[in-house]
Amino acid sequence: MSINETDQTITDWPDSGSEVSTLPVARLIYASESLVQESVLDEMRRIRDHALANNGPQGIRVALLFMSGWFVEWMEGPEGAVQALVERVAQDPRHRGLKVIHRSVGRPRLFRPWIGSIVQTPERSDAFGLRVFEQLDRFEAGQVADPASVWLALCSPAVTDMPAPLGQYPRIMLLSARGARVFELVTWLARVQGQPLVRRRFAGGVDDAPDVESDYLDLPAHGRRGLRLIANARKGLAMGMTHAFLPDYAAVAVLFDKDAVANQRIVDRVLSACRQVHHVPTIVGLGTHEELTNDLMEQVERQGLAWRAARTRTAEPDLADYWTALHPVLDRLD
């Protein structure tokens, strides 16, 4: 697999000049079947332009995803404004069969006025629909889960033998300081562990969000609850969905490089994102003794985050060496 990972893409937060509010908001998720016949990406851009013009003044933030012929939209904001919006959306001819599968009041999770993603997957529409109806049954039975859990159950389902349901297992983000070595690592690990690797391409529905890869691997036998490893492109730090789900990561593991400048740059980006969402995951430095410097450790700890070093035994590690260094550290996180 070839991942084009450059550092030319801006990974700042376009609308985050101040910290994200922690005041409670109304949260709603619906799913509906798409009736769009033309380019979905073009339609997403039209939806975005309308949303930015009309939702922002109402204090509403939304995430809209297209996957397997379905739309899934997550709304947050004042309760009256959210209800009015979903009632308007229900009349939109671009979809049908709108089903509200989550309502709650709680801390906001969406940090941009509009987030758009298109997930490229071979999954059939009817298989996705089964998950929609499972979530609808739980919602109508009064089982109100966190909105992030509902979203993950639809868009990133776990393998069937994961011990913990609905995403209640540790999730670890993997980032490479340079290159795409973390993608090579999860690909190799999936083969060695005999587990399926889920490959995803996220096409941002906005001009400043790139088309990026984000692959994940579930390891049901790891720890008490299982473990999900998610290889993210560095460019993905610019995407709104990454921001929304950052608070769900138990740890961010960074595979460092011999290039000290690249190492510093990726740590700066990760720490900046964590400050914005008030999240303090464990930061795992993965690399050689020379790459895991005291300066990087001290920078992480000054921000109040825990630092764990996963040092390889060799100065020229291969993929097996990286996993040998990493998995004992992940064991201690559970």
The per-residue pLDDT for 314 is: 96
Q: Is the dihedral of CA 103, 113, 85, 82 positive or negative?
A: positive
Q: What is the pLDDT of residue 205?
A: 53
Q: Please state whether beta strands 282-287 and 114-119 pair in parallel, antiparallel, or not at all (unpaired).
A: unpaired
Residue 143 has a CB neighbour count (10 Å cut-off) of: 10
282: helix, coil or strand? strand
pLDDT tens for the chain, 334 residues: list them.
445 555 544 444 344 434 556 789 999 999 999 999 988 888 888 888 888 888 878 889 999 999 999 999 999 999 999 999 999 999 999 999 999 999 999 989 888 888 888 887 888 999 999 999 999 999 999 988 889 889 988 988 888 888 876 678 899 999 999 999 999 999 999 999 999 999 887 766 555 555 788 999 999 999 889 999 999 999 888 777 888 889 899 999 999 999 999 999 999 999 998 988 889 999 999 999 999 999 999 999 999 999 999 999 999 999 999 999 999 999 988 7
Rounded to an integer, what distance in angstroms lies between the CA atom of residue 204 and that of residue 127?
Answer: 24
Hey, is 123 helix, strand or coil? coil
Tell me: the pLDDT tens digits for 187-224?
Answer: 999 999 999 999 887 766 555 555 788 999 999 999 88
Q: What is the Cα–Cα distance from 162 to 241, expressed in whole angstroms? A: 23
Q: 101: how many CB neighbours lie within 10 A of its CB?
A: 25
Say what the pLDDT of residue 8 is: 47
What is the torsion angle, in degrees rounded to the nearest 10, for the CA atoms of residue 32, residue 171, residue 278 and residue 275?
-110
- The pLDDT tens digits of the residues spanning 134-180 come to 999 999 999 888 898 899 889 888 888 888 766 788 999 999 999 99
Nearest partner of 157 among 123, 191, 203, judged by Cα: 123
Residue 22: Cβ-neighbour burial (10 angstroms; 0-12, 13-18, 19+): exposed
Per-residue model confidence (pLDDT) at position 16: 41
Which domains are assigned to the chain? Answer: 25-155 (3.30.70.100), 171-333 (3.40.50.300)
Q: Give the pLDDT score at 276.
A: 82
What's the pLDDT score for residue 206?
Answer: 52
